[in-house]
Amino acid sequence: MLEQGGTVVVPSRQRAVAVRLIHTRARLRAGAAAWKACDVLPYGAWLARLAAQARHGALRGLRRLGATEEWLLWRAAAAEACEGTEVLQPSSLADALRRSAALCRDWALHWPGDPTPEATVLARARARVERRCRELQAYAADDWTRILAEAPALPQPVLFAGCEAFGPALRSRLRELGAEFFVPVAQPLPAALPTACVDATDELRRAAQWCRAGLERNPAARFLVVVPDLSQRRAAAVTAFEHELAGGALLAPAGDIPYVIEGGRSLAEYPMVRTALALLRLAGARLEFAELAPLLRSPYWSCGSPSQRAALELALRHRNVAGAELRRLAGLAHNLRGGHAPLAAALESLAAATGVPRGWRATPAGWARRFAEALDAFAWPGAAALGSDEEQQRERFRALLGELAMVGAGAGAPLGHAEAVRLLANMAQRTAFESASEDVPVTLTESTGDPLVPYEGIWVTSLGAERWPAAPRPDPFIPIAVQRAAGLPQSSAPGQLGQAQQALAAWARCAGGRLVLSWPGSDGDVALQPSSLVAAGAATPPPLADPLLAALRRAVVREPRAHPRALAWQREQPLPGGTRTLELQSLCPFRAAAELRLGAAPVAEPVPGLDRRERGQVLHHALQRLWQGLRDSRTLRERAADAPALAQRVRGIAEASLREQLALRPEPLPAPLVDNELRRLVALVTAMLEQELERSGAADFSVLQLEQAARGALAGVPLRVRMDRLDRLDDGRLIVIDYKSGQDEAFQPLADRPRQPQLLAYALLAAEVAAAATGEAGEAGATGAAPVAGVAAVYLRADAVRWRGAVADPALLPPLKPPKRTARSPVPPWGELQVHWRMVIERLVNQFVAGDADVDPRRDACRNCHLSALCRVDAAVQVMNENALDDEGEATDAS
């Protein structure tokens, strides 16, 4: 037919490409040097061709609705049709109602009255759309009843292939025009190869390996892999076929990609388009940090340098900026240290050039022009050269702006900025994009329709009993009895069975004698069985390893290397993180070296309101202000005698501390959140004072030092310390208190790698710090003038205030968690504990100074570590360490 000048119509663009390619290959095998281009069209393009021919006939004076305009009409119709019902989001029914209306049209479905509420909604929506089309003098692109109403007989042969889903009304009209439908010739079908797989991932790997083996035998072969749930398994499919078919590109120059995924994906999923949509939102509104951070890192716009934008992102994280608009970003950029003035100036210029006046509204055409100008101002898509796929994405998005400009009365009233961007984003989400590609050896498809053209082999996945044949999926808006009476296949189990059998026959016909039908043997812990349409009996093979990873492991050349050590730390230099150095070294030597020497510190994630760091600072400042006024336990008891006055004082201190913290924020905190934080702060400080009153009953104390920086030395290495609070009892002994606002942790007095090594260090340095604070001789104070009687971390949480630590006399502090005394780890007397602590702390200091950077995490260290990708600690070791009993936790708080 193609050689005689006829036309072949297929269901989709992808099938049209496949037919054209197979025709070209056939002509080349026949030795032809030139031939007439074949006329193969998807059904939508063929119908548009006839609509163009009918513009002076049945469609005289009518215009074609754009895809977006038609969707808007159906969305408005859905909202109107659902009035008076309990549907929460009627506009979300637009696509479903449109599909139901198409079924009614193509299958000539009618029923008396409105027997169901759903059918009533459908009837109302159809009537509303038809009325609006008459008012707009427009027609829908797929409304064949209008397009073919006065169409003459087709002048050349037209063959419809793979169009089994066409309804009888549509088929009848096409036959009246002279079209024919392709009917496969009945012939004996080759047996398929049933293949059991371990799971869904193993199934994709085996399919990819099968394709590779076939291409190694015959590089000119073409294979089809059918994955019915490809949209849900796209990432796993890409991984499997990339590693098997394109893995060599990682070790050698990249060539052409040997596979393609049919149908593409949503245009809005591509990074370049996501950047464009984010920039358009930023032009007129505040952008939340979750979208702002990737925008600042995106290479698809030009504003300052990448390093300047990275510094701005870090500033947003450090200052807990949960969202910002362009002018706020410019102000934050002005405050950055270093040469970031160009970035601030560029952001201010962009704010002036792209800003949208508050309340400004325009038609879709007006917004399309404004969006195009804004993208030009942002220099989208950046200054770097674009690849072929990126060029196509850019052109398709610019075409989408043109489609936005063509949206007419279906859009309703003029739109605000947020509505216009949302409309464009919806258009991008609904637009399937696939980069133009040449003939490729392997095609992955989600379609279970007739492949139409022959392949050297076809592999069909996911043919488990729970998926194939598919369960009945009747249309929700058409009475099910009407659907079954008309014979809609998807409305009944027999109909779905018939479709599955037709698909198997089509695959076998086009597979060239090599048809593989596979199913996963399990889904997690659930065992799966093959479909009844697939011959059982295949044994489940062992799991197939990822071939690329296996090849990389085989290529490994092991070489001896020196023990992992950083450069030795100069002993005369203070430890870089103070007592934080000890905490990290105890957690993992590698983490200490990475954070304190390489600067691989974690970055904060902005949150609404105050983050944990800000809450901790407010709490510390409030407690510091409180004790600067009280100074000792006697004053506390005196003030507590007048409870209302003390409560008023606590509230005033809390308000002042919170006000001071809020003044540091680049944006104000909403009043309800401020009130909530104030209530929380007052409750914590009050609970702490109640426990301090109980403590003062055992021994009076005075606050010797609050949040003051001091210097000390451990193992001969200087370090800076800042104790939250240092108390002196009346007998001269010292108590160290460290405030915490996070989850409480058990204190382990005998652990070789303690969880709170800063408490141990404070216990060793407290006497020296106290002597310096009071002007006493440092040596005398350190040796005996001011012995340490206890150390404690106080965890202030909304539910309770918990004290964790060790003390010489249990009466000196509120109750600590009772220690677990065992024969293996008895808690020694207070003096022996201090000797043990000095040994532990000096060992940690010496390890850091010596450059010890082993990847040797404590058993719980990897759970919240941000460096696992850098240290590459074995995952099995992590699981083992986290699940094993923590022997160090046998002994907890001591008294």
Under the banding of pLDDT at 50, 70 and 90, the label for residue 576 is: very high
CA distance 837 to 829: 12
Closest to 106 measured CA to CA, from 55, 146, 166: 166
Q: Are 575 and 719 in contact (CB under 8 A)?
A: yes
How large is the average pLDDT for residues 590-597? 92
- For the chain, count helices (H), then strands (E): 31, 23
> For residues 139-155, b (16+ Cβ closer than 10 Å) or e, as one string?
bbebbbeebbeebeeee
Whether residue 145 sits in one domain with residue 274: no
Q: Are 559 and 826 in contact (CB under 8 A)?
A: no
Alpha carbon distance 336, 347 (integer Å): 13
**pLDDT for residue 204 is more than 90:** yes
Percent of the chain with pLDDT over 90: 48
Q: Which two tokens stand for residue 657?
A: 């501390």
Name the band, by pLDDT with cuts 50, 70 and 90, for residue 816: confident
Query: What does DSSP say about strands 138-139 and 63-64: parallel, antiparallel, or unpaired?
Result: parallel
What are the structure tokens assigned to 242, written together? Answer: 């990339």
| pLDDT single digits (tens) 617-674 | 999 999 999 999 999 999 999 999 999 999 999 999 999 999 999 998 888 888 999 9
3-class SS letters over 768-798: HHHHHHHCCCHHHHHHHHCCEEEEEEEEECC
- pLDDT value of residue 876: 42
* Same structural domain, 316 and 447: no
Looking at the DSSP bridge assignments, the partners of residue 460 are 226, 517
Please determine, for residue 806, whether its predicted confidence score (pLDDT) is greater than 60: yes
Residue 500 lies in a domain: yes
Quickly tell me which residue has 């006939």 as its tokens: 57
Q: What is the pLDDT of residue 890?
A: 38
Domain with 119 in it: 7-181
- How far is it, in rounded angstroms, from Cα 209 to Cα 550? 13
Residue 72 lies in a domain: yes
Domain-embedded: residue 708: yes
Phi, psi angle pair for 625, to nearest 5°: -60, -40
Same domain, 305 and 213: no
Looking at residue 24, its pLDDT comes to 81
Tally the residues of the chain.
895
Rounded to the nearest 5°, which phi and psi values hold at 739? -80, 140
Reported as a pLDDT band with limits 50, 70 and 90, residue 784 is very low
Residue 469, preceding bond cis, omega within 30 degrees? Answer: yes
* 842 closest CA partner among 752, 778, 755, 772: 752
Of 719, 812, 704, 729, nearest to 765 by C-alpha is 719
Q: Last residue of a domain, which of 155, 181, 207?
A: 181
CATH number of the domain enclosing 462: 3.40.50.300
Measured CA distances, 590 to 94, 322, 753, 869 (Å): 56, 32, 14, 12
Reported as a pLDDT band with limits 50, 70 and 90, residue 563 is low
Number of folded domains that form the chain? 4
Largest CA distance in the chain: 113
**655 part of a folded domain:** yes
Residues 48 and 176 grouped into a single domain: yes
- Same domain flag for 721 and 646: yes
Q: What is the pLDDT of residue 761?
A: 93
Alpha carbon distance 148, 152 (integer Å): 8
Tokens of 372: 């195009």
What contacts 110, CB < 8 A, 6 or more positions away? 104, 482
Query: What per-residue confidence (pLDDT) applies to 776?
Result: 58
- End-to-end C-alpha distance for the chain, whole angstroms: 95
Q: Please give the average per-residue pLDDT across 501-522, as a whole number.
A: 90
How far is Cα 510 from Cα 507, in angstroms, rounded to an integer?
Answer: 5
Which percentage of the chain shows pLDDT scores above 70?
Answer: 90
Return the minimum-mean-pLDDT range out of 246-255, 336-345, 487-496: 246-255
Tell me, yes or no, whether 276 and 385 share the same domain. yes
DSSP H helices in 487-607: 493-510, 547-554, 579-587, 589-596
Query: Is 571 part of any domain?
Result: no
Q: Do 362 and 468 sit in the same domain of this protein? A: no
Q: Is the pLDDT of residue 255 over 60?
A: no
CA distance linking residue 862 with residue 240, whole number of Å: 29
What pLDDT does 866 receive? 87
Q: Which residues contact 241 (CB under 8 A, 6 or more apart)?
A: 204, 208, 211, 259, 442, 444
Residue 568 resides in a domain:
no
Clarify whether residues 846 and 875 are in a common domain: yes
Q: What's the Cα-to-Cα distance from 711 to each of 49, 316, 557, 761, 778, rounded to whole Å? A: 85, 32, 49, 12, 12
Query: Is residue 300 predicted with pLDDT exceeding 80?
Result: yes
pLDDT confidence band for 190 (50 / 70 / 90): low
The DSSP secondary structure of 591-630, one letter per residue, reads HHHHHHTS---------SS--HHHHHHHHHHHHHHHHHHH
Report whether pLDDT(257) > 80: no
* Mean pLDDT of the 221-231 span: 92
Give the mean pLDDT of 67-75. 90
DSSP per residue, 62-117: -EEPPHHHHHHHHHHHHHHHTTTS--S-GGGGHHHHHHHHHHHHHHT---SS--SH
Q: Is residue 838 scored above 90 in pLDDT? A: yes
Answer whether 736's CB lies under 8 Å from 706's CB. Answer: no
Q: What is the DSSP string of 664-712?
A: TSSSPPPHHHHHHHHHHHHHHHHHHHHHHHHHHTT--EEEEEEEEEEEE
Judged by DSSP in three states, 419 sits in helix
pLDDT exceeds 90 at position 495 = yes
Residue 388: its pLDDT value, please? Answer: 83
pLDDT, average across residues 424-448:
86
Count CB neighbours of 827 within 10 A. 19
Minimum mean pLDDT range among 287-291, 562-566, 667-671, 817-821: 817-821
Is 553 a member of any domain? no
Q: Mean pLDDT, to the nearest integer, of 672-695?
A: 92
Distance of CA 157 to the CA centre of its chain: 51
Give the least confident one: 90-94, 147-151, 377-381, 563-567: 563-567
Instruction: Report how far residue 199's alpha carbon sits from residue 520's, in angstroms, rounded to the nearest whole number.
Output: 4
What's the mean pLDDT when you consider all of the chain? 86
Residues 236 and 171 reside in one and the same domain: no
What pLDDT, on the 0 to 100 scale, is given for residue 492?
A: 93
- Angle 234-245/547-554 helices, nearest 10 degrees? 40
Residue 215 and residue 285 in one domain: no
User: What is the spatial distance between Cα 762 and Cα 739, in angstroms, rounded to a whole number?
Assistant: 13
Packing angle, helices 341-354 and 306-318, rounded to 10 = 90
How far are the Cα atoms of 158, 172, 393, 488, 542 from residue 180, in angstroms, in the given order?
Answer: 6, 10, 37, 22, 49
- What's the pLDDT band for 98 if we cut at 50, 70, 90? very high
Q: Are residues 494 and 380 in the same domain?
A: no
- The two tokens of residue 653 are 């201190």
Two tokens, residue 488: 């809609």
Domain boundary among 433, 460, 477: 433
Q: Is 80 exceeded by the pLDDT of residue 439?
A: no
Which residue shows structure tokens 């479709």?
499
| pLDDT, tens digit, 9 for 90 and up, residues 153-174 | 888 889 999 888 899 999 999 9
Order the strands of the 158-160 sheet from edge to edge. Answer: 39-42, 7-10, 158-160, 180-181
Could you tell me if 292 and 605 are in contact, meaning their C-beta atoms sit under 8 angstroms apart?
Answer: no
pLDDT of 411 over the 60 cut: no
- End-of-domain residue from the set 547, 565, 598: 547
**Shared domain check, 468 and 325:** no
Question: With helix as H, strand as E and coil as C, how does 738-772 read?
Answer: EEECCCCCCCCCCCCCCCCHHHHHHHHHHHHHHHH
**Domain assignment of residue 188, yes or no:** no
Instruction: Give pLDDT, residue 748.
Output: 84
Calpha distance 790→763 (Å, rounded): 7
pLDDT of 58 reads 85
Measured CA to CA, the distance from residue 629 to residue 642 in angstroms comes to: 16
